[in-house]
Chain A
Amino acid sequence: MAEERERVIKELISSGIERAIAEEIARDFTVSELSVSREELLAAGIVDRYADDILCMLGIELAGEVKPCDIEAQVNATPLPDKLKSELKSKLRVVRRLLTRDKLNTILKRVIGEYEAARVDPREAVGIVAAQSIGEPGTQMTLRTFHYAGVGAIYITLGLPRIIEIVDARKKPSTPAMKVRLQPEYASDRRKAEMLAMEIEETHIKDVCRVESSADDMCILVSLNNRELEKRGITRAAVEDRIKSLDMPVDMDEDKIKIYTKNKSYHELLRLEERISNMLVKGIEGIRRAIVRKGSEGEYMIYTEGSALKKVAKIEGVDFSRTTTNNIAEIAEVLGIEAARNAIIDEMISTLEEQGLDVDVRHVTLIADAMTVDGEVKQIGRHGLAGEKTSVLSRAAFEVTVDNLLEAAIHGEVDELRGVTENVIVGQPIRLGTGAVELVARSHMMQ
């Protein structure tokens, strides 16, 4: 049975039907059963536009029309990039009934022609164009941090400071934050999502108890606030356990816990008070706030202030595959360099978009790729890409001129003058764009 279904699905997909639809059809029909009329198909609840495709697939000729499989096959045969191919396919499929073979051919030819015309020229200095395209709107960006997603949500660094932060490959952003997506059962239930948020948000003893120091009997008084405890779903035992882990003489009372100092010094007392106040009873360290919000697709998710990707992954109910953070170094560490590259692109684009700036993705991808080629996230600047250049002159012209020259001498470095700055410095044409090619006139054409 299952085998049969797989076969149906496979065949349907190969003739250009989307997987989701194919699966649905396969639930109702087997291959042999599919030799039915159009009406029957429609009656079975199959969407109108797919009915034809199915009949087509079964070899029932729809006179003169282009079959979905033709679109599939012909588009696949073009030398276009995959993204363009799938866009083209889906758009052609919609208008399939208006197509003829010839029309399809002319359309494909035009698409290929226009694609080829839009290709970059070899020797194009794409790096400079990318740098300019990101740098030029820099002056138009704001310097301040704003909130995110309306009232009451989390503050996030935006604008130029954020872009600089990304490009600097900082270990920790100034405002780390996560967007935690949830498993379906949590995502649809606000209460459950809120419970989860509580699970994530760090709760210190001072949040649920009153902590005082008493100089009279040299002890710390922790009085539990039952309302807060209940609100945050913390048991009294949990607090007690945490305090016991201090390994200090403790006196447990009805609603008060007394912790005695060992050396009976005021200094120790104050330090202990501080320490107890900041003990974690619940949540993940570093997550200062976790707020439940409804996402654009109607699912609840958790926005956090502070980031701890690895720890959040282990929490039941979190859909880790869709959970992100704005800390790129953390992504590189947890998910690897490719993920970090994508994170750089996403973060940059969303920051630019938020500022209402239009920058082509290609520029952003180039920067992200340049930052991550070597398998680690490298800064754009003296301690990263610019500092690791092969050319002595280029490094010297950027920053720390003297040190670079002294070091180059010691290492006996050779500058092969392959880059831009080096050649400008020695007064030669640069080896990019038109500077990279030479023009030779053929003598017989001169007449």
Chain B
Amino acid sequence: MRTKRIKAIKFGLLSPKEIRKMSAAKVITADTYGEDGFPIETGLVNQRLGVIDPGLRCKTCGGRMGECPGHFGHIELAAPVIHVGYAKLIHKILSATCRRCGRLLLSEPAKQEYLAKIEEQKEKQADINEVVKQVFKEASKNEVCMYCGDYFSIDSEGLEEDLDKSSVSSELRERIEDRGFSVSKNAILHREIDPERLFRWGDVPGRDNKQLIEFLVRDFELTWVKKAKISKKDDNTVVISAGAKTLELSLSSRRDCVRLNFEGGRSYELPVKKEGMALFVYSYRWVITDTDKVYILKRGWDKLLIYCGERQKRIKYEKPTTYKEIEEDGRERRLMPTDVRERLERIPDEDVEVLGMDPANARPEWMVLTVLPVPPVTARPSITLESGQRSEDDLTHKLVDIIRINQRFMENRDAGAPQLIIEDLWELLQYHVSTYFDNEIQGIPPARHRSGRPLKTMAQRLKGKEGRFRGSLSGKRVNFSARTVISPDPDIGIDEVGVPVDVAKELTITVNVTERNLEAMRELVRNGKNHPGANYAIRPDGRRLKLMESNYETLASELDIGWKVERHLIDGDIVLFNRQPSLHRLSIMAHYVRVMPGRTFRLNPAVCPPYNADYDGDEMNLHVLQTEEARAEAKILMEVQRNIISPRFGRPIVGGIHDYITGLFMLTWGDKRFSKEEALDILRNIDFDELGEPAGIGEDGQPYWTGKQIFSVILPEGLNQEFRGKVCRKCTEQGLICRKEDCPNEAYVHIKNGRLISGVIDEMAIGSFKGMIIDRIYRKLGDSTAKEFISKASRLAINYILLAGFSFGISDEDIPEEGKEQIRDEVIKEAEEKVKRLIMAYEAEELEALPGRTLEETLELLIMQELGRARDEAGEIAGRYLGIENPGVLMARSGARGSILNLTQMAACVGQQSVRGERIMRGYHGRTLPHFKPGDRSADARGFVRSSFKDGLSPTEYFFHAMGGREALVDTAVRTSQSGYFQRRLINALQDLEVKYDGTVRETRDTVVQFMYGEDGVDPAKSVGGKSVDIDEILREEIGVV
């Protein structure tokens, strides 16, 4: 099926014309249902606006509920109102355009320049806001309109002195008035530098010649300079000459002005401004500011060139929707929306473009509403309460308010009500329309529902996490999904998921009945609600028939090719399995269904790490794929086995945890011997070919197999590997020689052709995140073999641990009295003594401060160090007494769970508690608790817990421990929210990056972000722990050395 694709979406403002055109009904009644219970003809749930009641038909399109998408209506507003969302922009536009002619207050060349810049930005698909901001800034600086004024000139003879005054002299006024313009008595005169610069001093002679000549011709009518030669006499003098005529330009010694020396001794001064290193030459102008006009006077040869333009007034914007024009005398005059609209209408299309707007789709005056579109009822459905009463949507409520005030406004105006009342109503109408768009505008109270709850209007519907965009468009609720608690099952494969029968019966897959599956489908229909059955049968005409015990047989016989059957989930179906938070792509993987009894989803513990799941009540989601394409994609891309390697670091993320590691560790550790029966028992539900020759004959005369041999059974043939396990003591780093296969700790794992020769299997070998063996099998023998291996290893581990038994109890934390004494009386006492000495040294001011630290900080650091060492020592002693056979030590050493530190805290000493990385300082003045003397800096008083968890904490210790614990708790809570937002931002910024066929990484604009992905074009998920090729490996295999 070929589907249509939306190519693009264009945004714009609705014009009143368009609103009326798309309207299916004019709404004039401020009510919904009449007394008869039927919708009012001209009301807000007008049947022409769409249907929400089953059984009714739309009066516009004739569609039924579900078919008719709904139709817009409109309200004719009695008076224009400002669109709140654009109130600020309207203010900016008003300030930037002429109050009389509506033109943008920028010169034509400037407009062209900005327009070009905007075009350029658009070309680059970049943001135009920066340019537009500049336009507004520059335009609103202009106090005079240059488009609706007049040019004229007056004789300047004898006016030289008049121009230095600050008021307009009568002589000057007379001359201006002679030309038919009036200047009031209050007008003020001042000289200023013309903001338009003439030329750059260094560029004449040069590329600024033209500007200079233009200026001389314009202001001094020196037409001869057009053909003149411009030359430089020295650094400070430029000479313009043509024949006998010359003009000299000289820069003053202070470099603040340029003097034009005309022939015959006349001269004229031009101001110079220094900008950076460059000198720019300007000219002066005089400005007469009158109440409504501004005269700009420029010096001509014998004349004053005058421009008289409309004087602009500053416009004040008062939140949320009021504009005021400030008069000369400081009085304010309110601009009603009608005035605003008229002004906006006057702005010509060309100028609108310079403001960054698109006049075809967004004329500025459309920001002042005269007609209001009424959204279809389908967008604001009413709900029928249990009592049979209808409860309307918030938007409908708001629209009712608008219409009510609108009608009242009209009535009052028609009746000739006083201006004051009209204005109040206008204000009220504005309020309702404003809150209809956004009910969280600053400065106005939100419109409320009868119950006092603020209404959710337009903006609130769109905004935020639960809003339209994030809540219902980017993410949606789905069908064909299930959620329940997860529990472990080591006997299913890592790519399987155990699905409760109840769930399998509810979730369905639609199957087309063909000649090949007809019989099978009939069987399913016959089974009906009983598990491998079906819930619905769909006839070729599309009618869905529900399977019920009464119709099983009839439908089964009726079933034929061309029907469809919605069958239950069965073993082998592919489904998506997910655990939130879905932080990476491995949080959703495809599993194969195993229908089983019970009420939980069953999951192999080896896949817990990618989901970050555990079984303490975690719930997970399951989605059933509905199309063949989806299933194919899931199989190829999302299967667990395809995702054993994490793309984050290029190593396996699926692997053994906890008991898996313990089990295999115990199995392969030391020289364990098993009789044939035992060996086969351990390998019971594991698929294998042969056990192999026994390792020897035991004392009892029976052949025996070693644990390593049993483990070797599940290793694939042809596997060769050597590495150091987690138990490795890093001999080489200490300058000792690694004894490899003869390692006393069995740390050197050597696998030769699928046989474990030496070493013990621990976290490094099969654990998640490390998993050297898994990694190797995955790369050498493929993902299915790796998957098989992990599945088998989990069974093997559990089988053995069941046989051998493994537990960790409170008594496993016991250390003999002598050990305790050693810890208590030697290590800790000694440390406390040392701390005391340090404090004494500090108090005696004998302590030497560490570089860059205060004495107090130094003391704290030394104490912390000392106490930290004491705890470690205590732990070491405890470790010695516990011994390697201790299950806790075993778990820590093998990497199954916990660390030596955890054991130390349980058995020996909990150690220093800290808040904000320091010893505990807070509490009372000078002390942490009333149990201590003020100023006590000793270990005890500052949160050192000398007891172990097993022994129990003293009350003060307990309290300090709780302080540290609280901090950790708060930390986690803060961190989750922070990192969640951090990831959302990252995803949002990078989601569109993609590798193209040429190996470059580009974003939606096709801008190249990287010329080659990761600089070598290698996929981390296919790399060897980040390296593209393991050269050592190849060399080892090819020539046998490293």
Which residue numbers of A lie inside 8 Å of B, CB to CB? 81, 83-84, 87-88, 91-92, 95, 98-99, 103, 106-107, 110-111, 114-115, 117-139, 141-146, 151-154, 160, 163-164, 167, 289-292, 305, 358-363, 365-367, 369-370, 373, 380-381, 384-386, 388-394, 396-398, 401-403, 405-421, 424-426, 428, 432, 434, 436, 439
- B986 neighbours in A (Cβ, 8 Å): 130-131, 134-135, 167, 367, 380
Is A81 touching B1015 in the complex (CB atoms < 8 A)?
yes
Is B995 touching A81 in the complex (CB atoms < 8 A)?
no
Is A151 touching B1038 in the complex (CB atoms < 8 A)?
no
Q: Is the CB of B851 closer than 8 A to any CB of chain A?
A: yes
Give the shortest distance, in Å, between A432 (CB) and chain B (any CB): 5
Supplied contacts A110-B1038, A160-B979, 10 more A-B pairs, CB within 8 Å? A81-B1015, A84-B1028, A107-B1034, A133-B1020, A167-B982, A362-B1020, A390-B1004, A397-B474, A412-B11, A415-B9
Partner of B991, one of A84, A127, A363, A428: A127
Is B1041 touching A144 in the complex (CB atoms < 8 A)?
no
> How far does the alpha carbon of A373 sit from the alpha carbon of B851 in the complex, in Å?
42
Q: Is the CB of B128 closer than 8 A to any CB of chain A?
A: yes
- B462 neighbours in A (Cβ, 8 Å): 396, 401-402, 405
Minimal Cβ-Cβ distance residue in B for A407: B129
Is A128 touching B9 in the complex (CB atoms < 8 A)?
no
Minimal Cβ-Cβ distance residue in A for B861: A151
Is B6 touching A411 in the complex (CB atoms < 8 A)?
no
> How far does the alpha carbon of A135 sit from the alpha carbon of B1034 in the complex, in Å?
34
Is B994 touching A126 in the complex (CB atoms < 8 A)?
yes
Partner of B360, one of A83, A381, A412: A412
CB-based closest 4 A-B pairs: A412-B358, A127-B993, A135-B983, A362-B1014
Is A81 touching B1028 in the complex (CB atoms < 8 A)?
yes
- B1008 neighbours in A (Cβ, 8 Å): 373
Q: Is the CB of B449 closer than 8 A to any CB of chain A?
A: no
Given A126-B993, A426-B9, are A142 and B1016 neighbors across the interface (CB < 8 Å)? no
- A125 neighbours in B (Cβ, 8 Å): 991, 993-994
Minimal Cβ-Cβ distance residue in A for B1029: A114
Is B982 touching A421 in the complex (CB atoms < 8 A)?
no
Interface positions, chain B 569-612, Cβ under 8 Å from A, are 583-585
Pairs A–B under 8 Å by Cβ, sample size 20: A81-B1028, A87-B1031, A117-B1022, A138-B978, A138-B983, A139-B583, A143-B971, A144-B917, A146-B917, A365-B1014, A369-B1010, A380-B985, A384-B989, A392-B9, A394-B988, A396-B469, A402-B438, A411-B11, A411-B357, A419-B992
Q: Is the CB of B1019 closer than 8 A to any CB of chain A?
A: yes
Is A414 touching B991 in the complex (CB atoms < 8 A)?
no
Interface positions, chain B 642-662, Cβ under 8 Å from A, are 647-651
> How far does the alpha carbon of A420 sit from the alpha carbon of B1041 in the complex, in Å?
49
Given A370-B989, A409-B11, are A360 and B1016 neighbors across the interface (CB < 8 Å)? no
Is A95 touching B995 in the complex (CB atoms < 8 A)?
no
Give the shortest distance, in Å, between A283 (CB) and chain B (any CB): 13
Interface positions, chain B 947-991, Cβ under 8 Å from A, are 971, 974-976, 978-979, 982-983, 985-991
- A152 neighbours in B (Cβ, 8 Å): 850-853, 858, 861
> How far does the alpha carbon of A369 sit from the alpha carbon of B582 in the complex, in Å?
25
Give the shortest distance, in Å, between A392 (CB) and chain B (any CB): 6
- B361 neighbours in A (Cβ, 8 Å): 409, 412
Is B8 touching A416 in the complex (CB atoms < 8 A)?
yes
> How far does the alpha carbon of A122 sit from the alpha carbon of B1017 in the complex, in Å?
10
- A111 neighbours in B (Cβ, 8 Å): 1029, 1031, 1034
Which residue numbers of B lie inside 8 Å of A, CB to CB? 5-13, 85-86, 89, 125-129, 356-358, 360-362, 438, 459, 462-464, 467, 469-470, 473-474, 583-585, 629, 633, 637, 647-651, 769, 850-853, 858, 861, 865, 916-917, 971, 974-976, 978-979, 982-983, 985-997, 999, 1001, 1003-1005, 1007-1010, 1012-1023, 1026, 1028-1032, 1034-1035, 1038-1039, 1041
Is A414 touching B989 in the complex (CB atoms < 8 A)?
no
> How far does the alpha carbon of A52 sit from the alpha carbon of B526 in the complex, in Å?
84
Give the shortest distance, in Å, between B379 (CB) and chain A (any CB): 16
Give the shortest distance, in Å, between A416 (CB) and chain B (any CB): 5
- Among A362, A390, A396, A418, max chain B CB count under 10 A is at A362
Is B1039 touching A370 in the complex (CB atoms < 8 A)?
no
Is B1039 touching A98 in the complex (CB atoms < 8 A)?
yes
Is B1019 touching A118 in the complex (CB atoms < 8 A)?
yes
- B1017 neighbours in A (Cβ, 8 Å): 81, 119-120
Is B1034 touching A412 in the complex (CB atoms < 8 A)?
no
- A291 neighbours in B (Cβ, 8 Å): 851-852
Given A167-B982, A380-B986, are A424 and B1010 neighbors across the interface (CB < 8 Å)? no
Is B992 touching A405 in the complex (CB atoms < 8 A)?
no
Give the shortest distance, in Å, between B922 (CB) and chain A (any CB): 16
Give the shortest distance, in Å, between A205 (CB) and chain B (any CB): 19
- A103 neighbours in B (Cβ, 8 Å): 1038-1039
Minimal Cβ-Cβ distance residue in B for A139: B979
Minimal Cβ-Cβ distance residue in A for B853: A152
Is A365 touching B1010 in the complex (CB atoms < 8 A)?
yes
Given A120-B1019, A370-B989, A381-B989, are A415 and B8 neighbors across the interface (CB < 8 Å)? yes
Give the shortest distance, in Å, between B461 (CB) and chain A (any CB): 10
- Among B629, B633, B991, B1016, max chain A CB count under 10 A is at B991
- A397 neighbours in B (Cβ, 8 Å): 469-470, 473-474
Minimal Cβ-Cβ distance residue in A for B475: A424
> How far does the alpha carbon of A124 sit from the alpha carbon of B1017 in the complex, in Å?
11
- A137 neighbours in B (Cβ, 8 Å): 648
Minimal Cβ-Cβ distance residue in B for A124: B995
- B850 neighbours in A (Cβ, 8 Å): 151-152
> How far does the alpha carbon of A367 sit from the alpha carbon of B1023 in the complex, in Å?
19
- A121 neighbours in B (Cβ, 8 Å): 995, 1019
Is B473 touching A84 in the complex (CB atoms < 8 A)?
no
Is A106 touching B9 in the complex (CB atoms < 8 A)?
no
Is B585 touching A132 in the complex (CB atoms < 8 A)?
yes
Partner of B1026, one of A153, A154, A360: A360
- B1003 neighbours in A (Cβ, 8 Å): 127, 370
Give the shortest distance, in Å, between B81 (CB) and chain A (any CB): 16
Given A81-B1015, A144-B917, A370-B993, are A118 and B982 neighbors across the interface (CB < 8 Å)? no
Is A420 touching B991 in the complex (CB atoms < 8 A)?
yes
- A436 neighbours in B (Cβ, 8 Å): 994
Is A380 touching B989 in the complex (CB atoms < 8 A)?
yes
Is A402 touching B459 in the complex (CB atoms < 8 A)?
yes
Given A120-B1018, A167-B986, are A358 and B1031 neighbors across the interface (CB < 8 Å)? no
Give the shortest distance, in Å, between A287 (CB) and chain B (any CB): 12
- B990 neighbours in A (Cβ, 8 Å): 127-128, 130-131, 366-367, 370, 380, 385
- A132 neighbours in B (Cβ, 8 Å): 583-585, 647-648, 983, 987
Is A426 touching B469 in the complex (CB atoms < 8 A)?
no
Given A91-B1031, A139-B979, are A118 and B1009 neighbors across the interface (CB < 8 Å)? no
> How far does the alpha carbon of A330 sit from the alpha carbon of B134 in the complex, in Å?
27
Partner of B357, one of A130, A410, A415: A410
Partner of A128, one of B11, B971, B987: B987
- Among B128, B976, B978, max chain A CB count under 10 A is at B978
> How far does the alpha carbon of A125 sit from the alpha carbon of B703 in the complex, in Å?
56
Partner of A428, one of B5, B769, B1028: B5
Is B362 touching A412 in the complex (CB atoms < 8 A)?
yes
Given A386-B985, A388-B126, A397-B470, are A414 and B852 neighbors across the interface (CB < 8 Å)? no
Given A358-B649, A363-B648, A370-B990, are A417 and B6 neighbors across the interface (CB < 8 Å)? yes
Give the shortest distance, in Å, between A82 (CB) and chain B (any CB): 9
> How far does the alpha carbon of A305 sit from the alpha carbon of B1028 in the complex, in Å?
39
Minimal Cβ-Cβ distance residue in B for A378: B989
- B86 neighbours in A (Cβ, 8 Å): 406, 410
Is A133 touching B584 in the complex (CB atoms < 8 A)?
yes
Given A366-B1014, A415-B9, are A390 and B1005 neighbors across the interface (CB < 8 Å)? yes
> How far does the alpha carbon of A367 sit from the alpha carbon of B990 in the complex, in Å?
8
> How far does the alpha carbon of A361 sit from the alpha carbon of B649 in the complex, in Å?
9
Minimal Cβ-Cβ distance residue in A for B356: A411
